[in-house]
């Protein structure tokens, strides 16, 4: 039986795929301090909660149709 354990952090490449953002966009956001990462030696990962929070902050509200 295969048990799926949810990831708590993503590699930069995984974060790109999951968020549909480019690598350059993610690194710009990391450099600007908008997206937190964890660095362990040379390996950098993006915690799931931080990626979700980043995307929520970037969310643009839907425009309501004019009546």
pLDDT tens-digit readout, 10-36:
999 999 999 999 999 999 999 999 999
Domain assignment present for residue 67? The answer is no
Domain assignment present for residue 50? The answer is yes
Smallest CA-to-CA distance from 10 within 37, 40, 47, 38 is with 47
What is the rounded CA–CA span in Å between residue 27 and residue 34?
Answer: 10
The number of folded domains in the chain is: 1
* Angle (CA) 34 13 55, round 5°: 35
Domain assignment present for residue 66? The answer is no
Phi and psi at residue 35, in whole multiples of 5°? -130, 120
Structural domain for 28, as ranges? 9-57
Domain assignment present for residue 63? The answer is no
pLDDT of 61 strictly over 90: no
Q: What is the percent of the chain where pLDDT is above 70?
A: 97
| pTM for this prediction | 0.83
Parallel, antiparallel, or unpaired for β 43-47 and 38-40?
A: antiparallel
């Amino acid at each position: 039986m295969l048990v799926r354990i949810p990831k708590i952090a993503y590699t930069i490449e995984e974060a790109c795929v999951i968020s549909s953002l480019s690598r350059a966009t993610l690194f710009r956001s990391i450099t600007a301090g908008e997206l937190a990462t964890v660095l362990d030696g040379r390996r950098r990962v993006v915690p799931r909660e931080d990626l979700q929070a980043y995307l929520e902050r970037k969310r643009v509200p839907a425009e309501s149709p004019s009546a």
